[in-house]
Amino acid sequence: MALERETALDRAEAIVETVATETTPVPVREVWVYGDVALGMDPVDRLNVYVTKDLLFGRDEAAAERFRDSHGVEGVGQTIRAEWAEQHPELVRANRSGHVAPEQCLAAHLLEPDEPVHLEVCNASFEDNVTQRLEGARARGNYEQLLDPRGVCLWLGDGEGSGRRSDDAFRKLREGSLAFPTLAESLSMLGLNEDEARKAVDALRAVRERRDGRSVRSDVV
């Protein structure tokens, strides 16, 4: 299931609007899109969205106890905002160990259940994480966790509810006027040799082909 380009960009705008105007499970500092939609493709096989979040500190013991009793989960008021959980108890998501999962809560808030969107959530900026993941992939010889570096920043926030949307970025995306090199060339610019870049492209293509519907990945750097 692919998205028409305009539909994909409308979804990206809706995500930015939600982040800019609503209380989210965790503070959000950046929203990027990368890959197909940044390259001007139509249709867009998958809308790739990257969100930089803040880590929460402290603990709301009262909220933690309420949600432990009502939902059987840990971490409300610690790793996700108690205010958000109180407003959206139906969107609270937990991992297998029963601890709330910020990335899954963000996905539940920002995305539709079955749309072809991949959400990356990390405490590091997009550009920093591109570099971190590249270094890790080279060290392990496993390129499946790489991020496509061809991204566009759509929103920058301060983590306190204020931020700035890039109307210029949206305009250029809708015009299809952004120019990017191929994925192999982009990875070579970041330091991969020709053989490494070829393996990386093949690995990322395989990952892309396996994904279906909504998908979510979380990183802590």
Containing domain of residue 206, as a range?
5-52+100-219
Domain assignment present for 9 = yes
Q: Which residues pair with 148 in a beta bridge?
A: none
pLDDT tens track for 40-58: 999 999 999 999 999 888 8
Please give the pLDDT value at position 166: 96
Contacts of 92 (CB under 8 A, 6+ apart): 67, 71, 73, 76, 80, 85, 100, 105
Q: Is residue 81 one of the residues assigned to a domain? A: no
Q: If you average pLDDT over every residue of the chain, what do you get?
A: 93
The dihedral of CA 99, 104, 110, 111: what is its sign? negative
DSSP characters over 20-42: HHS--SS-EEEEEEETHHHHT-S
- 71 within domain boundaries: no
95 inside domain: no
How confident is the model at residue 131, as a pLDDT? 95
pLDDT tens per residue across span 75-115: 999 999 999 999 999 999 999 999 999 999 999 999 998 89
> What percentage of the chain reaches a pLDDT higher than 70?
99
Indicate the pTM of the whole model.
Answer: 0.94
Domain count, the chain: 1
- Structural domain contains residue 75: no
Residue 89, domain member (yes or no): no
- Is 47 within a domain? yes
Rounded Cα distance between 178 and 32, Å, is 14
Dihedral angle over CA of 138, 141, 142, 147, nearest 10: 20
Tokens of 53: 């979040």
User: Does any domain span residue 64?
Assistant: no
Closest residue by Cα to residue 50 from 61, 35, 65: 35
